Amino acid sequence: MLTLFELAALILGVTAAASWINANTVKLPVAVGLMLVGLGFTAVALGIDRVMPAWGVADTFRTLQGQIDYPDLVLNFMLAYLLFAGALNVNLGALARRGWAAGILAIVGTVITAVLAAAGFWGVCHLIGYDMPVTWALVFGALISPTDPIAVLAMTRRTDLEPQLQAQLEGEALFNDGVAVVLFKAILAYAVGQGLGGDAGAVDLNAIAQHALIEALGGMAVGLVMAAIAVLILYAVEDWITETLISVATATLVYAVNLHFALSGPLGVVVAGLLMGSAWANRGLSSRARETIHPFWHVIDEGMNAVLFFLVGIKAIELKMEPAMVVLILAGPVIILIARWVSVALPGSALPLIGKKASLKLYNVLTWAGVRGGLSIAMVLSLPDNAEKPLIFAASLGVVVFSIVVQSMTMERLAIRTGYGSPRSKGEPTH
């Protein structure tokens, strides 16, 4: 059994090695390359185990990665800094102009996606001969419904999208994960027979709505107040190191306070990051801090992204590649793409999502840009061990791998072909 420090050293060391392999061989964007390298490590371990089972390579690999508490690592640690870093670099003016549209997709679109994905997953499970309970199908729908902010922000940095479309995607991704986490927790509580008040009886939709509203609004309020206090402190400080530490402390405290009071940590740090990245906060920084804070958070963002997507890749070793699992891995992306398209088209038929007339091209671009990532995997791994968990994990992994490897890598070409993006300037960095 490794200590926490030894485990952290192992994860960082292997991730750095994987990043070096990617940078010097396949040379893909960090998220894509690290996930593929992680999947490659898994395939090699399984291959050695099949040829030389006495070596116990796969079992050793499973034991080591089994010591990683994925839900706690991602949901209670990494997500705080990844979301704060993402929000810090969002164009707040563009987001403010598209805020209502991003909000519609973040709330209405997420709920529609969750319901449709649950229905599709339930249907496929029955086709392969498994009687999936409706409640657990809804759990799958909730955890796979959000467009992952980490993956989407990484994609939009590599792709020259139209500013309104980019603001729409970034705003939706930053906020809909909080909506989905709240929805996921509520549905999971009923799925395991607990309910919000300890009652295992019928689902109380009113109780779910009230709980979700308090968690979401409370989390955002905490983020707004604490970030505003931090900005006022920045106006009284002239030391760039102290100013950088204040930004780190703000992200940490907002997330910790919200978790302690059962409020939405993700929504809290998003609001805090948006405020601390605003022009008001920027005026309170010293000249040296303006030069260092954003690069500092960029390193945090890229480093944690590398770790996260590599861990997603090696987590695949837990899957038993039975025919039913293969079907769910292949069906997962189809289910979520259909659900995403409908969740975009329904509100889009009534409201202009990016200030333009609704069109099939726009729906297709928004659907393809709905990248899923490590957040969904973290929620899967937080599920209690039962007969449904491996099936949900298989479908979720299929969606995430397809999203990161296929959707995010082809998004730029689709945006250019449909007129919602432009070719990247020669020599411009891709991430």
- Express each pLDDT in 380-412 by its tens digit: 888 888 889 999 999 999 999 899 889 988 888
Least confident range of 3-7, 51-55, 220-224, 422-426? 422-426
**If you average pLDDT over residues 123-150, what whole number do you get?**
91
**If you average pLDDT over residues 338-365, what whole number do you get?**
80
Neighbours of 93 (CB within 10 A): 11
User: In DSSP terms, which residues pair with 421 in a beta bridge?
Assistant: 161
Neighbours of 304 (CB within 10 A): 20
- The answer to whether position 218 is within a domain reads yes
Asked if residue 323 and residue 239 are part of one domain, the reply reads yes
Asked if residue 16 and residue 89 are part of one domain, the reply reads no
Q: pLDDT for 236-255, tens place per residue?
A: 999 999 999 999 999 999 99
- The answer to whether position 428 is within a domain reads no
391/399 Cα distance (integer angstroms): 13
Asked if residue 216 and residue 319 are part of one domain, the reply reads yes
Copy the structure tokens of residue 231: 């900005």
- The residue count for the chain: 431
**If you average pLDDT over residues 367-386, what whole number do you get?**
85
- The answer to whether position 431 is within a domain reads no
Q: Identify the CA nearest to 169 among candidates 409, 367, 426, 34.
A: 367
| Structural domain ending residue among the three candidates 40, 66, 92 | 66
Backbone angles phi, psi at 408, to 5 degrees: -65, -30
Least confident range of 200-209, 353-362, 394-403? 200-209
Helix, strand or coil for residue 240?
helix
Structural domain count, the chain: 2
Asked if residue 42 and residue 190 are part of one domain, the reply reads no
Q: What's the distance, Cα to Cα, between the start and end of the chain in Å? A: 37
161-164, Cβ contacts within 8 angstroms, sequence gap of 24 or more? 161/415, 161/420, 161/421, 162/354, 162/415, 162/420, 162/421, 163/91, 163/94, 164/94, 164/97, 164/98, 164/354, 164/355, 164/356
Q: What is the pLDDT of residue 425?
A: 57
| Structural domain ending residue among the three candidates 66, 87, 112 | 66
Q: pLDDT for 61-95, tens place per residue?
A: 777 777 888 778 877 888 889 889 888 877 677 66
- The answer to whether position 33 is within a domain reads yes
Asked if residue 302 and residue 255 are part of one domain, the reply reads yes
Residues 301 and 293: beta-carbon distance below 8 Å: no
Asked if residue 390 and residue 304 are part of one domain, the reply reads yes
- The answer to whether position 80 is within a domain reads yes
Helix, strand or coil for residue 355?
coil
| pLDDT at residue 225 greater than cutoff 90 | yes
- The answer to whether position 151 is within a domain reads yes
Residue 107 one-letter amino acid: I
Higher pLDDT, 347 or 211: 347
Q: pLDDT for 42-64, tens place per residue?
A: 888 878 888 888 888 777 777 77
Asked if residue 188 and residue 307 are part of one domain, the reply reads yes
Q: Identify the CA nearest to 406 among candidates 336, 348, 344, 342.
A: 336
| pLDDT at residue 354 greater than cutoff 60 | no
Q: What is the pLDDT of residue 200?
A: 43
- The answer to whether position 427 is within a domain reads no
Whichever domain contains 261, its CATH number is 1.20.1530.20
Helix, strand or coil for residue 246?
helix
Instruction: Spell out the residues 6+ positions from residue 46 whose beta carbon is closer than 8 angstroms to its own.
Output: 58, 317
Asked if residue 140 and residue 54 are part of one domain, the reply reads no
Copy the structure tokens of residue 77: 């640690």
Residues 126 and 328: beta-carbon distance below 8 Å: no
Q: What is the pLDDT of residue 138?
A: 94
DSSP labels for 71-124?
A: HHHIIIIIHHHHHHHHHHTS-HHHHHHHHHHHHHIIIIIHHHHHHHHHHHHHHH
| Structural domain ending residue among the three candidates 44, 66, 88 | 66
Please state the pTM of the whole predicted model.
0.80
- The answer to whether position 345 is within a domain reads yes
Q: What is the pLDDT of residue 429?
A: 47
Asked if residue 399 and residue 277 are part of one domain, the reply reads yes
333/336 Cα distance (integer angstroms): 5
**If you average pLDDT over residues 203-225, what whole number do you get?**
80
| pLDDT at residue 203 greater than cutoff 60 | no
Q: pLDDT for 291-336, tens place per residue?
A: 999 889 988 887 887 787 777 777 777 777 788 899 999 999 999 9
Residues 122 and 133: beta-carbon distance below 8 Å: no
Q: What is the pLDDT of residue 201?
A: 45
Q: What is the pLDDT of residue 148?
A: 74
| pLDDT at residue 265 greater than cutoff 80 | yes
Neighbours of 360 (CB within 10 A): 10
Going by pLDDT thresholds of 50, 70 and 90, the confidence category of residue 97 is low
103/106 Cα distance (integer angstroms): 5
Instruction: Spell out the residues 6+ positions from residue 97 whose beta carbon is closer than 8 angstroms to its own.
Output: 164, 167
Residues 20 and 33: beta-carbon distance below 8 Å: no
User: In DSSP terms, which residues pair with 161 in a beta bridge?
Assistant: 421
Asked if residue 12 and residue 113 are part of one domain, the reply reads no
Instruction: Spell out the residues 6+ positions from residue 283 whose beta carbon is closer than 8 angstroms to its own.
Output: none
| pLDDT at residue 207 greater than cutoff 70 | no
Going by pLDDT thresholds of 50, 70 and 90, the confidence category of residue 181 is confident
Q: Range of 16's domain?
A: 4-66
Q: What is the pLDDT of residue 356?
A: 59
Asked if residue 27 and residue 157 are part of one domain, the reply reads no
Backbone angles phi, psi at 329, to 5 degrees: -60, -40
Asked if residue 100 and residue 58 are part of one domain, the reply reads no
Q: Identify the CA nearest to 128 among candidates 328, 321, 318.
A: 328
SS3 string, 283-345, reads HCCCHHHHHHHHHHHHHHHHHHHHHHHHHHHHHHHHCCCCHHHHHHHHHHHHHHHHHHHHHHH
Copy the structure tokens of residue 228: 């505003």
